Structure 1
Amino acid sequence: MDPPGTVPVFLSLVGRKPPAARARAARQAVLVSLLVVSLFAVAGQAILAYLGIGIPALQGAGGLLLLLIALDLLTGKGGTEPETAEDVNVALVPLGTPLLAGPGAIAATIVFVREAHGRLGAYVALGLAIVTVHLVLWACMRYSGVVIRVIRESGITLLAKIAGLLLAAIAVQLVADSVQGFITGA
């Protein structure tokens, strides 16, 4: 999870919306991410085992989903849809998941829970870390309006293209890690 790194993607998706809509999208995205990461912290290993899914499959699916979103940002199709349904959808997908609560964050959470080995202090530290990173994520996205005032409309368009390129690279890396995970049996 990269709080400052989410600002360009956040602005490319909701930068043209009114401040109230941006604040709502930031809140919804962080709550969705917190819910997803917390769910996987508590029951992630059991969920993956029940579904017969490994971490490489999770990485591959997240990478493909991010690639679709990156292509929308790069081609400019992301901002042409009606705003009514987009407010909620953008906060849930791609912001809440897979951008904030993506395969990397989910896998790391599952690994850290495994390494805690029933130690209460380790669980408390992990819980505090999850909450803290989500508070920082919210603050970065919530107060990104300052960036909008500086870069204006043309800057948002440029930021959308750069964010799309970076998301595409992240997506390709996730898919490559997935393939490597399948090959090595991780």
Structure 2
Amino acid sequence: MNLADVFDPQLFVTVFVTLFVIMDPPGTVPIFLALTSAMGAKQRKAAARTAVLVAFGVIVGFAVFGQKLLAYLHVSLPALQGSGGLLLLLVAMELLTGKAETPSPSARGANVAMVPLGTPLLAGPGAIVSMMVFVQGSDGGAGDWITILLGLVAVCLCLFAAMRFANVIHRVLGESGTTLVTRIAGLLLAAIAVQMIANSVTAFVQAA
């Protein structure tokens, strides 16, 4: 079997970049440090692993069953793309203006690795909708599924690395560096959102 039949580099890069700017590994560093400030090194490492696994499971669950849900609700792909684009644009505006909500440290009493870290911080609406759009837009072959899954796995590994070495990353970037990375991610996300909306409008016009 040819490697090109099971792996699409262009699709992989698209999935990786989109999910990376949405899930924002560098941006999770200060939030992760705040929510796990009372934990020891081993507990913090376990929290990072659990949060990533929860996020991965939630996103894959929607990727697998999301199409059936949309079919049941009679929602088309262009409608999903349009709503997803608007949602991502709102998230991008929050990143650009610094108004993104930060989970309250008072939630430490619960398992913060699952809520709010795993979801909705990592596996939020933006990531879920984007993953569903990628799956809906694929040709349904095993190659596209493998490529999309590898893109998600790559982002999850980046998230785990960011949280695992949160103290080091925060010291290197500093407050201003972390803010700069968040703003750049917001700009890229806004561009992706506008493209999704444009594709949705084009699809509606062609179907009319």
Contact 1:4/1:140 (<8 A) preserved: no
Once the two structures are TM-superposed, the CA of residue 143 in structure 1 deviates from its matched residue by: 0.5
Quote the residue 1:142 is aligned against.
Answer: 160
Deviations 1:22-64 (A, max 9, x none): 5544333222212211223xxx1x4323212111110111111
Quote the residue 1:173 is aligned against.
Answer: 195
Specify which of 156, 176, 180 is matched with residue 158 of structure 1.
180
Once the two structures are TM-superposed, the CA of residue 101 in structure 1 deviates from its matched residue by: 3.4
Quote the residue 1:73 is aligned against.
Answer: 95
Contact 2:77/2:136 (<8 A) preserved: no
Once the two structures are TM-superposed, the CA of residue 150 in structure 1 deviates from its matched residue by: 2.7
Q: SS of the counterpart of 1:77? A: coil
Amino acid at match of 1:138: C
Q: RMSD value over aligned CA atoms?
A: 3.2
Q: SS of the counterpart of 1:66? A: helix
Quote the residue 1:119 is aligned against.
Answer: none
Contact 2:87/2:126 (<8 A) preserved: no
- Percent of residue pairs bearing the same amino acid type: 35
Once the two structures are TM-superposed, the CA of residue 66 in structure 1 deviates from its matched residue by: 1.2
Once the two structures are TM-superposed, the CA of residue 67 in structure 1 deviates from its matched residue by: 1.5
> TM-score, normalization: structure 1?
0.72
Tell me: CA distance 1:27–1:171, structure 2 relative to 1, closer, same or farther (3 Å). same
Quote the residue 1:11 is aligned against.
Answer: 26
1:64 matched to 2:86? The reply is: yes
| Structure 1 gaps, min length 5 | 117-121
> TM-score, normalization: structure 2?
0.66
Q: Which moved more, 1:15-24 or 1:138-147?
A: 15-24
Tell me: CA distance 1:76–1:110, structure 2 relative to 1, closer, same or farther (3 Å). closer
Tell me: CA distance 1:94–1:171, structure 2 relative to 1, closer, same or farther (3 Å). farther
Specify which of 28, 33, 36 is matched with residue 62 of structure 2.
36
Contact 1:30/1:100 (<8 A) preserved: no
1:56, 1:78 → 2: CA distance? 27
Tell me: CA distance 1:69–1:30, structure 2 relative to 1, closer, same or farther (3 Å). same
Deviations 1:106-159 (A, max 9, x none): 2332354x644xxxxx4xx56654554333222111112364443222111111
Tell me: CA distance 1:133–1:167, structure 2 relative to 1, closer, same or farther (3 Å). closer
Contact 2:25/2:158 (<8 A) preserved: no
| Structure 2 gaps, min length 5 | 1-14, 37-43
Matched length: 172
Amino acid at match of 2:58: V
Q: SS of the counterpart of 2:58? A: helix
1:68, 1:151 → 2: CA distance? 26
2:204, 2:191 → 1: CA distance? 20
